[in-house]
Structure 1
Amino acid sequence: MVATARVFEPGFRGGGPIRSLRFILDTLPDDLDVTLITADRDLSSPAPYPELSGRLVRRDDRSAVFYLGLSALRHWVRLVRHIRSRPVDLIYVNSLWSLFSVLPILAVALRLVRVRAIMLAPRGELSPGALAIKSRKKRLFLAVWAPLLRRLDVRWQACSWLEENQIRANFPWAHIMVNGNECPIPDHPAPQVVAHDGPLRLVFVGRISPMKNLTTALEAVAGATRPLEFDIFGPQEDEQYWASCRRLIDAMPGHVRVRYRGELAADEVMPTFSGYDAFLFPTLGENYGHVILESLASGCPVVCSDATPFSELIADGGGAVVRPASAAALSRALDRLADRSAGERAEAKEIAARRYRLWRQQVRELNVLDHARQFCG
């Protein structure tokens, strides 16, 4: 069987989603033919990728990428011609809110494009934490959008049982496929870095945005009574939010050192985690949370909120799940970690890696598009 999936996702060449998309395309079965439709530039960039804008680039025998300029009419004409030149079995879209999701679904509703099935992956956008941000606009949109999605019999992909429940809470009629492993995750833990004496070393790796809740992490660090160091890695997605973070950093007490250290390349993430005692991550919600797995695989215990699918794994992996993840409660958890001896910190790192190894041995999932084909019939 040959299936053609149209995947809509901005920022194909940069940021966190790129690893997921590359992994999906690189692990396709031979009988799938996939065209990825993506923006012709990085998120928020005014300039398109050189020599790629408006082009369909063939990656291999199974996949191609179309770089779309949203404001370029000729790109849309070229894209529609390409889509209508062959039967389309599946449209697979990421995000409820993105134009890369709304426009193709509208095209199907208006019969401009004919497909056998649509699958929508909300990517954590239906978590309580995500819906609380600009909640009024989102609830209004969902009230209008939900009847159309139901009429088109849109299928849903969740990355975990947690996200499955969140989808069902908003769309009780939803047909949901659960498939979480869409990034290359290590088969084995990384070599360990020996723990050290001195202040507790904490790290944050993630997007600097309200959802990742860095402000609460900073408040927790400021409220800790033991000496510690806290390094922050990640893109500054929200300037106003980053300004709030900067104010908290500038007001840190003398026994706390906080540094912003820029962005990390994908191959730098695990070596970076391995040099720290704990990953501080009071996220408001993760549909999956690959960064948590990368931390554990690096032998770095996680201190996290209870808003991820991995609470049990985190608690068993030398870290702590803080409920509720208030700044005060997190501060107390950090003080307990800081009181550990060098030997106890080393043991916690070994536990994190060992627990990850056991978890990894149990995880085997299909390529998400192959799974979607089977799920949609």
Structure 2
Amino acid sequence: MHKLTRTPSLGDAATSRRSAGAVCTYRVIATAGVFEPGFRGGGPIRSLRYILDTLPGDLDVTLVTRDRDLGSPAPYPGLSGRLLRRDGRSAVFYLNPWSPRHWVRMARHVRARPVDLLYVNSIWSLFSVLSILAVALRLVRVGAVLVAPRGELSPGALAIRTAKKRLFLALWAPVLRRLRVRWQACSRLEERQIRANVPWARVMVNGNESPIPAHPVPPVVPHDGPLRLVFVGRISPMKNLSTALEAVAGTTRPVEFDIFGPAEDARYWSRCQRLVAAMPEHVRVRYLGELAAADVVPTFSRYDAFLFPTLGENFGHVILESLAAGCPVVCSDDTPFSELIRDTGGTVVRPTTAAGLSRVLDLLADRTPGERAAAKVTAGERYRRWRQECREPHVLAHAREFCR
């Protein structure tokens, strides 16, 4: 995480930047439900960190976010209600949504200078709704609004609490249309999902949000013993851990399956625990808790394959992290990276049934230790080649041109 420094006063912060002669030709206010030092929010946190870390020289960005991690009752120590400058031209305001004083301080900072772009990361988030309402009611004047749904309009995401989401979208879409908001998709897949739900949308496609290192870590030494599988992700219906568990239970070969991630949905996690309790003797399953962002790639390097039957990813940072570690991916066909997964020696299973996944896992388990190690080398080398060819402009630089 980048070093953060306390800003004594919101008004003083804006004044000091002007007096220092900083070049701020394009000012962005971004919103997100969770950010560092939190990590439970997964990929969007890493996207936003990368966006802030790589800002072009003439952009100035303030990110407004909650003062605690996803699902946490306690705020980050020493951060609640504060505006903190990061290295470079970005700042983060950590807001308690239930504190009127925080809202007043945040509003004073936002209105201190003209805002060129409001960049909201979510459709449903309280931060997104309130900030867009402020624009609609002319409490804040902005040059343009850019909405990044972060996979919330995928079929898998909309299938969860469908009635509420459809009703909200029916009421909210006319407001967004009247404001002439623009949309950001992280892939062509997400662009199609946005247009399927918001036919009038003007969509900018840009997925340059990955801080994954260009060179993967060295592959591990070949090992004897069972196939080593891993799941890294939020434990929620969207990530589909239950199908992964049913798949390993249906294998006929010895398998070790380790699970990492926050138990976001207690009822769903109880269902998964029941599946774990019923595992056959040749399958060992362990839940090993949550992973800090810095530990994800090193963890993947210890496994033979990443089992990830997700119901949908607008981007899928965790897939790239697995490949950066030389860990092939066994995945659904509901991500932007199906072609990359196949090219790096992984398997895309369609339809993503437990039985179909079990057959793939048995084939992987039949490989010799040398063949598993070779597959890891292949995944890492082909990932590196793809990464070197993957070039897109900075998201907010692209947005500046797109939203004119």
Tell me which interval the TM-score lies in, with the shorter structure as reference length: over 0.9
Correspondence for 1:280 among 286, 292, 307: 307
- Could you tell which deviates more after superposition, 251-260 or 352-361? 352-361
Instruction: State the Cα deviation string for residues 329-365 of structure 1 (Å, max 9, x = none).
Output: 1111111111111222122112111210121111112
* Gapped regions of structure 1 (runs ≥ 5): none
Q: 1:108 and 1:221 mapped to 2: Cα distance?
A: 50
For the 8 Å contact 1:195–1:277, the answer to whether it is kept is no
Aligned to 2:280: 253
State the TM-score, normalizing by the size of structure 1.
0.97
Q: Does 1:44 pair with 2:71?
A: yes
Match of 2:325 in 1: 298
SS in structure 2 of the partner of residue 359 of structure 1:
helix
The 5 A counterparts of 1:61-210 are 61-210=88-237
Distance 1:44 1:289 in 2: 21
1:14 aligns with 2:34: no
CA distance in 2, matches of 1:201, 1:44: 30
Q: Does the CA contact (< 8 Å) of 1:159 and 1:288 recur in 2?
A: yes
- Any idea what SS the aligned residue of 2:312 has? coil
User: How far has the Cα of 1:62 moved from its partner?
Assistant: 1.1
- SS of the equivalent of 2:79 reads coil
Selected match of 1:4 from 23, 27, 43: 27
Q: Which residue of 2 aligns with 1:25?
A: 52
**Are the aligned partners of 1:228 and 1:338 in contact in 2 as well (CA < 8 Å)?**
yes
Aligned mates of 2:208, 2:386 — CA distance in 1: 13
Secondary structure of 1:287's aligned partner: coil
Shift of 1:260: 0.5
More deviation, 337-346/286-295: 337-346
Contact residue 71 and residue 264 of structure 2 kept, 8 A: no
Q: Deviations over 1:105-151 (max 9, x none)?
A: 01101111100100000000111100000011111111111111111
Shift of 1:68: 1.1
In structure 2, what is the Cα distance between the partners aligned to 1:294 and 1:346? 18
- Alignment RMSD, CA only? 1.2
1:266 to 283, 289, 293: 293
1:58 to 67, 72, 85: 85
User: Cα deviation per residue 1:194-229 (whole Å; 9 max; x = unaligned)?
Assistant: 232221110001111111000000000001111110
Deviation at 1:60? Answer: 4.2
1:308 corresponds to: 335
Residue of structure 2 equivalent to 1:331:
358
Q: Report the more deviating stretch, 101-110 or 34-43.
A: 34-43
State the Cα distance separating 1:39 from its structure 2 match. 0.9
Counting aligned pairs with the same residue, the percent is 75
Structure 2 counterpart SS, 1:184: coil
- SS at 1:148 equivalent: helix
Name structure 2 gaps, 5 residues minimum.
1-23
| Most deviating of 8-17 and 81-90 | 8-17
Distance 1:93 1:273 in 2: 31
Q: Residue 348 of structure 1 aligns with which residue?
A: 375
Letter in 2 for 1:14: G
Deviation at 1:263, TM superposition (A): 1.2
Give 3-state SS (helix, strand or coil) of 1:247's partner. helix
Number of residue pairs the alignment of both structures matches: 377
**Runs (4+) off by over 4 Å:** none
Q: TM-score, normalization: structure 2?
A: 0.91
Higher mean displacement: 259-268 or 217-226: 259-268
